[in-house]
Structure 1
């Protein structure tokens, strides 16, 4: 079992298989050129899988595949099947922008993937194009439909932004509710790679908008999830992720691995330790020591909150958020 210095059990690993992305979203990396890390710098799926086995043996119970956009990496379903075959009971999920999902959902499900998270920031094609800097909405919604058809459980994420999509909060919730998709509204996380024009909505503003249309009760936090949950009178449940609140990090149980082998203890911070050399040498003992050290030094909380309202220099496209 992996336990950090604040007595939090760390049993959730987010694995970025690529930093490449086919979107250039305003809140992530709107000005980054379309480039990629040389293939030789990336861990192969076999090398990533070797570390997955170490992590699972150490107590990791949930693995989420992320990017960039993970579906840009060829043969992703084969990597998923490696993990599933090793531990069928692992909670195996993926975060995707869904642009390529229509043609891959069945293969992913057959390989052992159980759940996906998809960003649905708008239901308007022109706004989607403005956010992603690409005409994307038709493909995204078709991908969501296909994922539901093949039996994948789907969650949706929305980042409400003033002057962009804040007027669609009710519409996105209704879209998700009609399809039995759980939606989480995410407060915009300030980072140095995002557009300087973005102004996000705080949770109190979100709740005021939702309360004008619906009645709901406050459920608080659910285990180690970062979402603050609410239940509507008909039983539908939605969440709000509030990284600026003091209790956001209180139950954090996750660490992140980049495609190049950097193991990161916190989404906010740049600090990382590399497992690449140990994994490429097949040195399981050394890789396990790095894992335990990263967990041991995991910080208590991020620095988005407080009086300063600091901006993170973390490149989210390397860690999948």
Structure 2
């Protein structure tokens, strides 16, 4: 069992397989050149798998593959199958922008993937293009449909940004309601890599927009394993809001993150990290596990997005950690 210094049990490993992305979203990496870390700097799938196996043996029950955009790394379905074949009841999930799903959804499902989170920030083509700095909407919608057709369980993630897609919240909600997808609205997490001047909507502002059409929704008792607070409409449909600006985002945190270059990250907000790269590449797996436990021992109690200070901005690059 993996326990941090505040007694929180960690059973969820998020693994970034690449920092590359084919979008340049305003809340993530709008100014980053289209470049990539040399392949030799990345942990191979085989080395990532060594660590994942050891982590599962230590109590990890959920593995989520992230990026960057993870589908940009070739052979991802083979990597997923490696994990599935080792423990086929593991909660195996993927986060993606959906652009490459039309051609990959079936392979991912066949490899053992169970669930998929897909970013959908707008159903307006011009707004979606403004957000991602690329004409993406038709292909993303095709990818969402393909994932549904092959039987993957779908969650939709939407990050409302003021003056960009804040008018699209209800339309995204209605789309998910009609399709039967879970939708989560995520408060923008201020970071130095986002577009200058980008401002997100907080939970109260998101709820105020939804209440214009659905005034009688109610809060659902919180599932402590989820980062989202869920709400239920009168017809029973539920939507979630992820609120990093509240401390309860952290109180039940069960996540640890591994980057494609082998850094273990204890908290999404902070720069703190330790590398397992040398240990796993040289088959010193016990050492890698000890590094994992040391990282957890030093994990902070909470992030600092809750600090009421406009200068309090994370320097973490989310495209390296998968959010």
Flag whether TM exceeds 0.5 (same fold): yes
- Corresponding position of 2:322: 320
Q: Alpha-carbon deviation of 1:84?
A: 0.3
Aligned twin of 2:185:
185
Where does residue 86 of structure 1 map in the other structure?
86
1:222, 1:231 → 2: CA distance?
14
Tell me how far 1:188 sits from its aligned partner.
0.6
Moved over 6 A (4+): none
**Alignment size in residue pairs:** 321
Structure 1 position 161, deviation (Å): 1.2
1:171 equivalent to 2:171? Answer yes
The 2-side partners of 1:308 and 1:116 are apart by 34
Which residue of structure 2 aligns with residue 292 of structure 1?
Answer: 293
SS at structure 1 position matched to 2:220: strand
- The aligned residue for residue 2 of structure 1 is 2
SS of residue paired to 2:302: coil
Query: 1:154 & 1:244 partners in 2: Cα distance?
Result: 25
Give 1:143's aligned residue: 143
CA distance in 1, matches of 2:277, 2:236: 46
Aligned position for 2:279? 278
Residue in structure 1 matched with residue 261 of structure 2 by the alignment: 260
Alpha-carbon offset, residue 199 of structure 1? 1.5
Output the TM-score relative to the length of structure 2.
Answer: 0.98
1:251 — aligned with what?
252
Cα deviation digits, residues 89-148 of structure 1 (max 9, x gap): 100000000000010000000000000101110001111111111111111000000000
- Please, which runs of 5 or more residues in structure 1 have no aligned partner? none
For structure 2, the 5+ residue unaligned runs are none
Shift of 1:159: 0.7
Determine the C-alpha separation between the residues in 1 that align with 2:5 and 2:213. 43
Q: Which secondary structure state, in structure 1, belongs to the residue aligned with residue 256 of structure 2?
A: strand
Provide the aligned C-alpha RMSD in A. 0.8
| Offset at residue 296 of structure 1 (A) | 1.3
Who is 2:235 aligned against?
Answer: 234
Q: Residues of 1 paired with 2:139 and 2:155: CA distance?
A: 17
